[in-house]
Structure 1
Amino acid sequence: MEILRYSAFTDRPDGGNPAGVVLDARGLDDTDMLRIAAEVGFSETAFVFAAQDPGHTHEVRYFSPRAEVDFCGHATVATAVALAERSAPGTLVFRTNAGRIDVATAAEGPALRATLTSVPTSSQPVALPHLESALKALRWSDADLDPAFPAHVAFAGNHHLMLAAASRQRLADLDYDFEALHALSRAQDWTTVHLFHRDTDTLFHARDPFPLGGVVEDPATGAAAAAFGGYLRVIGRAPHNSPVTVLQGDDMGRPSRLTVTTAASDPRVSVSGQAVPMP
């Protein structure tokens, strides 16, 4: 068994979000995969199995160091690029616990780009008691929120709390109660808390605490980016005919760039980025 290491949503190995990739996971059970994910130590490791029916190309499961995750965007991009490097760029279909994920791969300069299309998204306002608990765990106040972006829980294969920071400085100054946010995320089934700040209508900065996976913060979160696209569409802030760029990881020293595309007629969201092997 070979464990590959890729960094997703970047064109350099020291940027983006690292993911483990096991392209042949035959014979591994849940205990094996959880152990391997913990040994790799990245926020997620993807495990690829042969498809069980001809309508899907690959069955993919994702494990954090603590638990299985139904869907992981950056590990999907990393896995698609790893597969394309070993065959040829083209269209892949992943069967995940969250549902079918189509992934298109293409050459872009010296690297490969992968574009995943999520399951249908949804978004709804978060309950006030849960919002208050999240703000307390984050050590934020109501004044730290941007009122133009209501707090929601958005879904694109898993759930993410959406909170808009009123300033870039508030986003940069992240110091939260890990155990409190972990307990809240576990109780509410939030995979991450997607904290973001609007720069322009098509450019956002983001940070994603991920205590549920045993990780303080993700430097690039494709699943949350897909949910974010669905959220923007629901609240009427998705730009017409223009993709949204999400810059993440800058405050961690691992700059990442995610491109999010929505369409008014399609409940799904596309998230695109490059991925490169890590030494």
Structure 2
Amino acid sequence: MTDVLRYTAFSDDPAGGNPAGVVLDATGLDEAGMLRIAADLGYSETAFLTAPPEGLGGEPGRAFTVRYFSPKAEVPFCGHATVATAVALGERIGPGELVFATRAGTVPVSVTADGQGGLRAVLTSVEPHVEDVDPADLAEALAALDWPQADLDPAIAPRIAYAGARHLVLGAATRARLADLAYDFPRLEALMRRLDLTTVQLVHRAGPALFDVRDPFPVGGVVEDPATGAAAAAFGAYARELGLAPADAVLTLRQGEDMGRPGVLTVELRAGDTRVRVGGGGVRIG
């Protein structure tokens, strides 16, 4: 019988953050088996670990192949399931450096004690990039969300950002606009599948380095993702490229408050390194 662990990421409270399934030994599972477990669990993603490929590097016993499945499909990368997996491993083999081989590329993860008896994990993204959005696609996204153009924040220009998965970034002019999320699920899902998007990241700037975010995730079979590490990494690259943050910066993203599952994601940018670091706590559920 496959042992499926349940952890939440980006919170030290089991009722906060984003829950993920973690299968530390998926050696005997094929894709259909992984998808079935992810669907039965019902979390936005479940991570499945197997032996690392040749030449991955990392310390012996601290390198793994990781695949991520939503209830509907495999996704190339998932940040919150990466953090959850790293915390689960840290509890069993101790804090330190991990290396994950994912479909998106190699993702190093550092696990440290948080000083309060828990663990914190920081992932380093694959190489990110940012691209423009076709005006017709933007109009379709706004129509699916039922957002008037006037509700967008002109300082947060629409873009598609990537740091392991693709996300459409849209800025909300007010916190009230962000809080009012009632979208056309099939219509937004169809657009996202056509553009190969994992989530739509809706962002409101609450301070110079503080942002409130929400992430509709219809392609994964859930209405909204409570805390999205992959989107946070993509947003870090976006914020740097569009001048919302300097080359050296630490951004705080609050997510899940509107769902009753508050979480905090820390996004670190470093001058001279285009990759983005995303960190947070994690704890076992149940």
TM-score tier after normalising by the smaller chain length: over 0.9
The one of 180, 193, 201 aligned to 2:187: 180
Mapping of residues 52-91 of structure 1, within 5 Å: 52-56=53-57, 57-91=63-97
Q: Among the aligned pairs, what percent are the same residue? A: 58
Q: Contact (CA 8 Å) 1:233, 1:264: kept in 2 or not?
A: no
Structure 2's unaligned 5+ residue stretches are 58-62
Tell me what 1:235 maps to. Answer: 242
Q: What is the distance in 2 between the residues matched to 1:23 and 1:124?
A: 35
- Three-state SS of the structure 1 residue aligned to 2:54 is coil
Determine whether 1:132 maps to 2:139. yes
Cα pair distance change 1:240/1:156, threshold 3 Å:
closer
Tell me what 2:156 maps to. Answer: 149
- Three-state SS of the structure 2 residue aligned to 1:135 is helix
Determine whether 1:260 maps to 2:267. yes
Mapping of residues 159-170 of structure 1, within 5 Å: 159-170=166-177
- Three-state SS of the structure 1 residue aligned to 2:169 is strand
- TM-score (ref. length: structure 2): 0.96
The one of 200, 224, 235 aligned to 1:193: 200
| AA partner of residue 29 (structure 1) | D
Tell me how far 1:55 sits from its aligned partner. 2.6
Q: What is the distance in 1 between the residues matched to 2:118 and 2:215?
A: 25
The one of 105, 113, 119 aligned to 1:107: 113
Q: What is the distance in 1 between the residues matched to 2:269 and 2:100?
A: 20
Determine whether 1:213 maps to 2:214. no
1:71-96 superposed Cα distances (whole Å, 9 cap, x missing partner):
00000000001001001100000000
Larger mean CA deviation between 121-130 and 12-21 belongs to 121-130
Q: Contact (CA 8 Å) 2:240, 2:247: kept in 1 or not?
A: no
Q: Contact (CA 8 Å) 1:61, 1:70: kept in 2 or not?
A: yes
Mapping of residues 15-30 of structure 1, within 5 Å: 15-30=16-31
Determine whether 1:95 maps to 2:101. yes
| AA partner of residue 16 (structure 1) | G
Q: What is the distance in 2 between the residues matched to 1:178 and 1:110?
A: 41
1:140-177 superposed Cα distances (whole Å, 9 cap, x missing partner):
01101000111000000110000000000000000100
1:34-60 superposed Cα distances (whole Å, 9 cap, x missing partner):
000000110000000011224341000
Q: Aligned Cα RMSD in Å?
A: 0.8
| AA partner of residue 71 (structure 1) | F
- State the number of aligned residues: 279
| AA partner of residue 112 (structure 2) | A
Q: What is the distance in 1 between the residues matched to 2:169 and 2:272?
A: 23
Q: What is the distance in 1 between the residues matched to 2:196 and 2:239?
A: 21
Runs of 4+ in 1 over 2 A off after TM superposition: 239-242
Structure 1's unaligned 5+ residue stretches are none
- Three-state SS of the structure 2 residue aligned to 1:272 is strand
- Three-state SS of the structure 2 residue aligned to 1:100 is strand
Tell me what 2:51 maps to. Answer: 50
